[in-house]
Structure 1
Amino acid sequence: MVQTRRVRAGRLVALGLSTALVLSACAESQRGQNDQGGGGGAAKVGGTMTFATEGAPKLFDPFFATDGATFRTSQQIFEGLIEFKPGTAEAEAGLAERWSSTPDGKTWTFNLRKGAKFHDGTEFNAEAACYNFNRWYNQKGAGQSPAVTGYWQDNFGGFSDGAKPSLFKSCTASDPSTAVVELTSYTSKFPDILGLPSFAMQSPTAMKQYDADNVVQQGESFVYPAYGQEHPVGTGPFKFSKYDKANGTVELVRNDDYWGTKALLDKLILRAIPDETARKQALQSGDVQGYDLPAPADWDQLKKDGHKLLIRPAFNVMYLGIGQKNNAKLRDLKVRQAIAHAVDRDGLIKQQYPEGAKVAENFYPDTVSGWIGDVQKYEYNPEKAKTLLAEAGATGLEVTFYWPTEVTRPYMPNPRDIFGFIRGNLEAVGIKLNVVSKPWNGGYLEDVDQAKADVFLLGWNGDYNTPDNFIGNFFSDPNNRFATGSATWGAQLSAEIKAADAEPDAAKRKSMYEALNKKLKAEYLPAIPVAHSPPALVTSAKVSGLVASPLTDERFDTVSLG
């Protein structure tokens, strides 16, 4: 029997209507249906699919993760109270069948699905849900490092020690199938944030058994406990089987006790192949049946060769970050404007991005509320860049430029070539570069997050459809990777972003974000928005049932091999 999930009625809560809503069924989730992409025929059960990813997972505990490879794996193993409808950024029911809130948006009641169990046999109920919330909130020591719990801190703030304010207040199991979550304030992003992989439900039994929170910091690195390395336990349609760390290969097997429609595949293998050309060759040879992020230049040939190209909507942004902690000259707006005028964004997109990519003028796509076209534009103008540098007394400016290796991101299809293009732009206006390249999960993210870079390549693929998911994550902390706290306006920008997120009236909030987007480009300019790119994934012709997600939230339980 196909089990369906109740879908939220529209996006009323996410848009901040200040009335209590009990959300009931208005449509059915595509997830759990077995006829996607099957041409109307019965989907084949069984077999093993190998899918090539751009990198190896950092670990298997999504709460401690920030990388796409970990989330790719965890999205098959774990489920959240809220999920996202396949192919969209629309939140729908997950392990919570429905939910409601008080008029002030501070108290949320989640009615949980009955009959769901974790892979180790532990029952999923309100007590287990609250165990997860309390686990997140009660992190101590190394668990409070932004490099470890970045998603919690970006979305919920501080921890139970009270050192920093927290959005989360408490979780109470009022009965086995009802969890009540108390927040300290209204936020436009709740409950959608519960759909993030980081906030998936994990087995309390397994986390206790394998000491899930025993994270140890060694210098600037972190050592994670056995739970996150070898024993992840969720409720999802696939179970963790094994991991060959030497070649970055994860094996997942079907969860035959899954509460919903069972996965069609017997096994799903996720194999890390960092080089895009090597991923393509593996598909052509039949070693893999699909891979993520094919190079834009290969799209036409892949289709001609009979492969299926699935193109995601461009729900992302790449930016050229400007860190202000260590280089005082970068705190001068004229210097940051000079950098903006030095970058030929149109040329970069024509050379390095796929068809459908476009120049970014805001820090999020135009499908997100608050986007506005009437913002300060920075046309490509090397001479103006030189003039601004001279006016700022920064002729001969020297910066440390970081770019990442061993990664391909939805917004950054080829980091090496993108870096090379921008490097040429900056050097052409007299900026001297000290270049640092590090693996994405081998020091790059850590260094950038610790504000060691003056200029860096980074971006964001949206997690859910609110402005705060983009600019809130980027700029709400004045002491993050941009170190805007070193500028006089850092705290002001942070306060303005938090005020917009906390505004319950949707129309007022939209106006606040429009004003913020204008100021971000004209007055603050902590980074240069560069591009929105429609990333793709590709499979062999015999693969059916895979639904491309703008959130890169593809689930493989509906996949079959013809």
Structure 2
Amino acid sequence: MHKVVNRSLALRLAVAAMMMGAAAQLAAKPLVVCSEASPEGFDVVQYTTAVTFDAASETLFNRLVEFKPGTTDIQPSLAERWEVSADGLTYTFHLRQGVKFHTTGYFTPSRDFNADDVLWSLRRQLDPAHPWHDKTSIGFPYFESMAFKQLLKSVDKTDDHTVVITLTRPEAPFLRDMAMAFTSIYSAEYGDQLLKAGKTAELNSKPIGTGPFIFQRYNKDAQVRFKPNPDYFRGKPPADALIFAIATDSNVRLQKLRANECQVALYPKPDDVPSIIKDPNLKVAQTEALVTGYIAMNTQHPYLSDVRVRKAINMAFDRQTHVDQLFGKGNALVAVNPYPPTMMGYNTTNRNLPRDLDQARALLRQAGVPEGTVITLFTRNGGGPTNPNPRLSAEMLQADLAQIGLKLDIRVMEWAEMLRRAKKGEADLVSSGWAGDNGDPDNFLTPLLSCEAAKNGENYARWCNSKFQQLITRAREVIDNDERATLYSEALKVYDDDQPWISMAHPKVFTAMRDNVEGYVISPLTTNNFATTKVK
């Protein structure tokens, strides 16, 4: 009798163990994300695009401070705490101990993260004498556009776990700036290894960080594959693999989602959202994101250097029809200023020029623009949050400009190619968009419209206005939010007077996913972090 009971108990225990093992296997599944474009590379400080940040800074790297998921609020990351001096010039960061860098087939760290890694990562961009400063073909566009070369006086350590950053002037958004991708922390040890081996280019193709995922491989225009970091200081991610499946067409991304070939589809077209919501197998996350869609007008090109021509183009543009056709009614606000109305200093007195074709033609005649003048527009080959249908958008603008005697030559190209050529100033018009990286107005105005950004090409309008520059520089230095708001409002009036852009839209942002996806948090900054996301 006892033997039968024991055999029965042993059998039940064995079955239970098998079921638990199977459940554990089912609990951790690959997470496939249908992404809208290929990352430009993985040395994230060389780039400014959201798609590259998703595939590099959000997966592979950490920063001293980071944004709380779904917010623009700061929380500790590689720095556990910090102090700021009374004059606002000195920031002392106390570093987290025991953080591991990734171990891969091409690098095995011999030590944990420490202050030397912070110094390497920031001094590389700051100091022309740093051995890695000249090891990029395009420099450090975000660091330069944000005027960090002028802002950072020094980056030093007092011991292995304490870093002191001294500024040349107070900078109100500094902590938020330090949560952005271009301040990501690299392994100084890995940098030294590559430099000694003469393989510095591999920093962009074989990345090492402290982030939630470890890089495995990248097939351009097809797939990026990561595995979870078992030593991640916030805990191993629940997905047993993270795969970015690249599909530039939003219709293809949605088809793959419905077929369960991916479990998350980024940036569905707004007019597809109602059908996604009705599908019992799918769901949608949405947010009022800090996003602007715009067309930059190259103010250094013939004719477009004349504000009358820029005003004529703005007067011909049928904004409301454009926004309704692209985003669907209720899914986007018509843009007036370079950033959304929820942000500090938004100028409520600015108004878009009324659509007036006769006045637009008169302005072109006054500026001496011949009938039939051809201007070029660069746009991308796939849709994203700031422009879900670039081809349609371009053709609608083409029809508007034809009514005032201008011919629009539409050049559609792959995303990275468009950015490269736009930064060189080749186009008359560039269809682009921007998602705020830190929730501060400065993050729209300095990278996109400052004189420094005009020099390095990130300011596609090549617009440099001294009065505008003085106002935004002063606004960065002021701590009082009311005073900052006043300065930004004045700067936006200068922008409105000079018309360097066609301001288009502030759209809502959507993410579609399978119903069994858990732990994803949509961000108003439009970054996508999958460290806590899993497929049930």
Structure 1 length-normalised TM: 0.84
State the Cα distance separating 1:399 from its structure 2 match.
4.4
Aligned equivalents of 1:58, 1:211: Cα separation in 2: 22
Residue in 2 that maps onto 1:210: 194
The alignment partner of 1:508 has SS state of: helix
Residue in 1 that maps onto 2:10: none
Could you tell which deviates more after superposition, 266-275 or 389-398? 389-398
Residue in 2 that maps onto 1:180: 164
Asked if structure 1 preserves the Cα contact closer than 8 Å seen for 2:35 and 2:244, the reply is yes
CA shift in 2, pair 1:80/1:495, >3 Å: same
Aligned equivalents of 1:340, 1:188: Cα separation in 2: 34
Residue in 1 that maps onto 2:338: 363
1:389 counterpart letter in structure 2: L
Asked if structure 2 preserves the Cα contact closer than 8 Å seen for 1:386 and 1:395, the reply is no
Residue in 2 that maps onto 1:412: 387
Asked if structure 1 preserves the Cα contact closer than 8 Å seen for 2:156 and 2:165, the reply is yes
* CA RMSD of superposed structures (Å): 2.3
Aligned equivalents of 2:519, 2:97: Cα separation in 1: 27
- Residue in structure 2 matching 1:125, options 97, 100, 114: 114
Residue in 2 that maps onto 1:114: 97
State the Cα distance separating 1:538 from its structure 2 match.
0.7
User: Within 5 A, what are the aligned runs for 1:520-531?
Assistant: 520-522=495-497, 524-531=498-505
State the Cα distance separating 1:498 from its structure 2 match.
1.6
Aligned equivalents of 1:183, 1:102: Cα separation in 2: 11
Could you tell which deviates more after superposition, 381-390 or 267-276? 381-390
User: Within 5 A, what are the aligned runs for 1:220-259?
Assistant: 225-229=201-205, 231-245=206-220, 247-259=221-233
Aligned equivalents of 2:167, 2:207: Cα separation in 1: 28
The alignment partner of 1:484 has SS state of: coil
User: Within 5 A, what are the aligned runs for 1:254-269?
Assistant: 254-269=228-243
Residue in 1 that maps onto 2:3: none
User: Within 5 A, what are the aligned runs for 1:123-522?
Assistant: 123-138=112-127, 147-158=138-149, 166-211=150-195, 225-229=201-205, 231-245=206-220, 247-306=221-280, 307-327=282-302, 329-354=303-328, 355-396=330-371, 398-442=373-417, 444-477=418-451, 478-479=454-455, 480=457, 481-485=460-464, 490-522=465-497
1:155 counterpart letter in structure 2: M
State the Cα distance separating 1:148 from its structure 2 match.
4.1
State the Cα distance separating 1:309 from its structure 2 match.
0.8
CA shift in 2, pair 1:44/1:212, >3 Å: farther
The alignment partner of 1:234 has SS state of: coil
The alignment partner of 1:410 has SS state of: coil
Structure 1, unmatched stretches of 5+, are: 1-41, 159-165, 216-223
CA shift in 2, pair 1:211/1:295, >3 Å: farther
The alignment partner of 2:186 has SS state of: coil
Asked if structure 1 preserves the Cα contact closer than 8 Å seen for 2:290 and 2:524, the reply is yes
The alignment partner of 1:80 has SS state of: coil
Residue in 1 that maps onto 2:76: 93
List per-residue Cα deviations over 1:256-300 (Å, max 9, x = no partner). 111122211111111111121111111122211111111112111
Determine if the alignment matches structure 1 residue 59 to structure 2 residue 50. no
List per-residue Cα deviations over 1:460-486 (Å, max 9, x = no partner). 10001111100111121254432235x
CA shift in 2, pair 1:65/1:51, >3 Å: same
State the Cα distance separating 1:387 from its structure 2 match.
2.3
Aligned equivalents of 1:259, 1:154: Cα separation in 2: 31
Aligned equivalents of 1:225, 1:280: Cα separation in 2: 35
CA shift in 2, pair 1:144/1:271, >3 Å: closer
CA shift in 2, pair 1:212/1:272, >3 Å: farther
Aligned equivalents of 2:195, 2:274: Cα separation in 1: 49
State the Cα distance separating 1:141 from its structure 2 match.
7.3
Residue in 2 that maps onto 1:558: 532
1:50 counterpart letter in structure 2: V
Aligned equivalents of 2:139, 2:395: Cα separation in 1: 31
The alignment partner of 2:447 has SS state of: helix
Residue in 1 that maps onto 2:32: 50
List per-residue Cα deviations over 1:12-31 (Å, max 9, x = no partner). xxxxxxxxxxxxxxxxxxxx
2:325 counterpart letter in structure 1: Q
Structure 2, unmatched stretches of 5+, are: 1-23, 104-108
Work out which of the two has the higher radius of gyration on C-alpha atoms and give 1 or 2. 2
Aligned equivalents of 2:430, 2:298: Cα separation in 1: 8
CA shift in 2, pair 1:281/1:496, >3 Å: same
Asked if structure 2 preserves the Cα contact closer than 8 Å seen for 1:106 and 1:183, the reply is yes
Query: How many matched pairs?
Result: 496
State the Cα distance separating 1:530 from its structure 2 match.
1.1
Aligned equivalents of 1:533, 1:437: Cα separation in 2: 22
CA shift in 2, pair 1:175/1:142, >3 Å: closer
